[in-house]
Structure 1
Amino acid sequence: MVSQNIRRRSITSTSSTVTTVQVEKDGAKSSYSYIKRGVQLVTWEHLPDWQKDNEHILSGYVKETNSIKACLHSLLFIHNESVNIFSHLVPAFCFMTTIIFDKYVVERYPTTTLKDYLMLDLFLFGAFTCLMMSSAFHCLKAHSPYVSSFGNKLDYLGIVVLIVSSMSSILYYGFYDNSFLYFTFSAITFTFGLSCAVVSLGERFRAREWRPYRAAMFVAFGLSALLPIFAGFLYYGVQETTIRVQLKWVVLEGVFYIFGALLYGVRFPERLKPGMFDIWGHSHQLFHILVVVAALCHLRGLLGSYTIVHTRLSSLTQ
């Protein structure tokens, strides 16, 4: 005979009522909670199949809402996507604010032109686009299978935009005195970017059998950043290229991106103790934070390249 004990505990706050239900069957416990006003938090076993992605995250899920309003309401309380949302939403607005006030936050040299601001803003806009699309996806992914799938496509597209804008901006200063190399590698970057955008948005390429090809495309896109560096080594020499593109910051940027992706891929640390990192500290959150750190490394390197180029140009005009 199956023994079953049910315990119910309600906590009322100024904004909502949270009810926690614990069910015990033959010594095994499971629980779920829900918040009224149309937003329900559930555990892994109560999710529809389309929402299941990481079996090591056991609780704190916003169940399918079919409501934009309910998804937006989830911004007002803590669940297992909260850190994913705000870790990209807040930096996105910081990048956008920098675009608006770029003439006040970027040091101006006698040789600085409108094109410099456009190239700096190109990266800032790419970072804003990537982070905002990611934040929107994590906020709205509980809406429905269609919205989640579409948001996931835009999330990948944001990554493409960030890579293209990052590479194009640093190439501009790395090859500021060689238009041929700049336009050649910019064309390669845009070609890879367009290809990755197609496989990200095309429904046909999202099938399971296309997964290895999608992954290979993004890996090739990332590795294409090595081409202009090697070209710079041959044309300018290692030391000069290192200075021009602020290579230490570019390398550090790559380390953070790769380390974050590795954590996300192996589901660390939540795979070590499922349930412990449901709300704080799971791999996707760490990945998001490292993406922001990597973007800041690129910004630091880009501003360094801008400073070096215009310091040299200004000295020539004196």
Structure 2
Amino acid sequence: MLSLKLPRLFNIDEVPQVFHERGILFGYRHPQSSAAACLLSLFQLTNETLNIWTHLLPFWFFAWRFVTVLCMTDIWNDSYSWPMLVYMCTSCVYPLASSCAHTFSSMSKNARHICYFLDYGAVNLFSLGSAIAYSAYTFPDVLVRSAFRDYYVALAVFNTSLSTGLSCYSRFLEVHKPRLSKVLRILAFAYPYLWDSLPIFYRLFLFPGVSAQNEAVLHHQRHMAMTLLATLLYSTHLPERLAPGRFDYIGHSHQLFHVCVIVATHMQTEAILLDKALRREWLLAVSQPLSFPQIAAALLLCLLFSLANIIYFSAALYRTSDAELRKRET
């Protein structure tokens, strides 16, 4: 009878410091796992298993919603819907990239960093997708024909490059300056989010306008609340920081962070879909939809800048590793 032997798990003292997670004492995978062992860990309870599944399952849900909307849209003639399709596509990319990063992050020290570099790039692509959808559907009335809206997406592209570079750089500080590393990474993600959300903040708290006073407002508020909760969980390492070892497998902050991010994305999607439907007539009457060249150029620049950052910092990893090896030999 065939039996499947699962890989042995390790405690925090048995893996290199770069793999350590604050407050997580047990359930670590081998720091030089094979790709097959990483895939097998999807079905073994480790301290990463739920990190993987809390984004892998939502990926299929978001993909199903994207395909459903795509099938109901006249892609070639309905340019008004293009920003929504771009947003929904990017909302599928980041959960898939995150689940892959958590799956294969135990292959080696450098592989761990590169996996998360790619994860950060996907998150920033989603940030740009959000900005494109916000520009098309959610701007308050008073800002629809403003210079701010004209340059909003272009600056969002710049923000994605800055955020990807800063978040990748923060990983080089994890071992020797963990607090600074965490602060830089939070800032790297908070800044693009705040920029993307400026039209929402203006709409909710200052001047929504007649066409913007609709049912989508409640979903925007819920999205902001869940994003704030996700940020608190990510930055505070609660609850595992208060009881190290108690939440290693189920209930630690990164799992809860993933759940909050997915719920926030769902709320954001509902808000954008409502704005798109309820404000269509007014928006088409007072403004022009983003053109295909504008959307394509923004996405292409984001991808190029992000890949350039990922390649540069990946190469820096190997240069650093080679320098450390030569230092040990001498």
TM-score calculated relative to the size of structure 1: 0.75
Residue of structure 2 in register with 1:16 after alignment: 4
2:47 is aligned with 1:76: no
Q: Which has the higher contact order (CA 8 A, sep 6+)?
A: 2
Distance change in 2, residues 1:132/1:147 (3 Å): same
Stretch of structure 1 that moved more, 74-83 or 208-217? 208-217
2:108 is aligned with 1:144: yes
State the Cα deviation string for residues 175-200 of structure 1 (Å, max 9, x = none): 59638543321122222122212323
2:161 is aligned with 1:191: no
The correspondence of residues 293-308 of structure 1 with structure 2, limited to 5 A, is 293-308=263-278
Pick one of 32, 41, 47 that aligns with 2:15: 47
Q: For residues 189 and 314 of structure 1, what CA distance do their matches in structure 2 show?
A: 23
Shift in Å, 1:229 = 4.2
Distance change in 2, residues 1:15/1:102 (3 Å): farther
- Kindly indicate whether the alpha-carbon contact (under 8 Å) linking 2:223 and 2:264 is maintained by their aligned counterparts in 1: yes
Stretch of structure 1 that moved more, 93-102 or 75-84? 93-102
Larger strand fraction of residues? 1
Q: For residues 194 and 53 of structure 1, what CA distance do their matches in structure 2 show?
A: 27
Q: For residues 199 and 285 of structure 2, what CA distance do their matches in structure 1 show?
A: 26
2:91 is aligned with 1:127: yes
Stretch of structure 1 that moved more, 149-158 or 291-300? 149-158
- Kindly indicate whether the alpha-carbon contact (under 8 Å) linking 2:51 and 2:254 is maintained by their aligned counterparts in 1: yes
Give the total of aligned pairs. 277
2:34 is aligned with 1:67: yes
Q: For residues 228 and 192 of structure 2, what CA distance do their matches in structure 1 show?
A: 13
Shift in Å, 1:101 = 2.8
Residue of structure 2 in register with 1:252 after alignment: 222
- Kindly indicate whether the alpha-carbon contact (under 8 Å) linking 1:98 and 1:105 is maintained by their aligned counterparts in 2: no
Q: Indicate the percent of aligned positions where both proteins have the same amino acid.
A: 23
Shift in Å, 1:273 = 2.3
Q: For residues 95 and 15 of structure 2, what CA distance do their matches in structure 1 show?
A: 26
Q: For residues 231 and 278 of structure 1, what CA distance do their matches in structure 2 show?
A: 41
The residue identity in structure 1 corresponding to 2:229 is F
Distance change in 2, residues 1:147/1:124 (3 Å): same
Residue of structure 1 in register with 2:145 after alignment: 178
Shift in Å, 1:76 = 2.2
- Kindly indicate whether the alpha-carbon contact (under 8 Å) linking 1:245 and 1:302 is maintained by their aligned counterparts in 2: no
Q: For residues 253 and 313 of structure 1, what CA distance do their matches in structure 2 show?
A: 23
Shift in Å, 1:279 = 1.3
After the TM superposition, which segments of 4 or more aligned residues of structure 1 sit over 6 Å from their partners? 313-316
Distance change in 2, residues 1:122/1:244 (3 Å): farther
Shift in Å, 1:207 = 4.0
State the Cα deviation string for residues 99-121 of structure 1 (Å, max 9, x = none): 22324567x9xxx9532432112
- Kindly indicate whether the alpha-carbon contact (under 8 Å) linking 1:87 and 1:289 is maintained by their aligned counterparts in 2: yes
Flag structure 2 segments of 5+ consecutive residues without an equivalent. 287-330
3-state SS of paired residue (2:110) = helix
Shift in Å, 1:292 = 0.2
The residue identity in structure 1 corresponding to 2:50 is V
Q: For residues 304 and 120 of structure 1, what CA distance do their matches in structure 2 show?
A: 11
3-state SS of paired residue (1:62) = coil
Distance change in 2, residues 1:304/1:276 (3 Å): same
The correspondence of residues 92-131 of structure 1 with structure 2, limited to 5 A, is 92-104=59-71, 113-131=77-95
Distance change in 2, residues 1:204/1:251 (3 Å): closer
Distance change in 2, residues 1:270/1:313 (3 Å): closer
Residue of structure 2 in register with 1:224 after alignment: 195
Shift in Å, 1:49 = 2.1
- Kindly indicate whether the alpha-carbon contact (under 8 Å) linking 2:220 and 2:267 is maintained by their aligned counterparts in 1: yes
- Kindly indicate whether the alpha-carbon contact (under 8 Å) linking 2:138 and 2:212 is maintained by their aligned counterparts in 1: no
Larger helix fraction of residues? 2
- Larger radius of gyration between Structure 1 and Structure 2: 1
TM-score calculated relative to the size of structure 2: 0.73
Pick one of 48, 52, 59 that aligns with 1:85: 52
Stretch of structure 1 that moved more, 133-142 or 262-271? 262-271
- Kindly indicate whether the alpha-carbon contact (under 8 Å) linking 2:113 and 2:171 is maintained by their aligned counterparts in 1: no
Flag structure 1 segments of 5+ consecutive residues without an equivalent. 1-12, 18-34
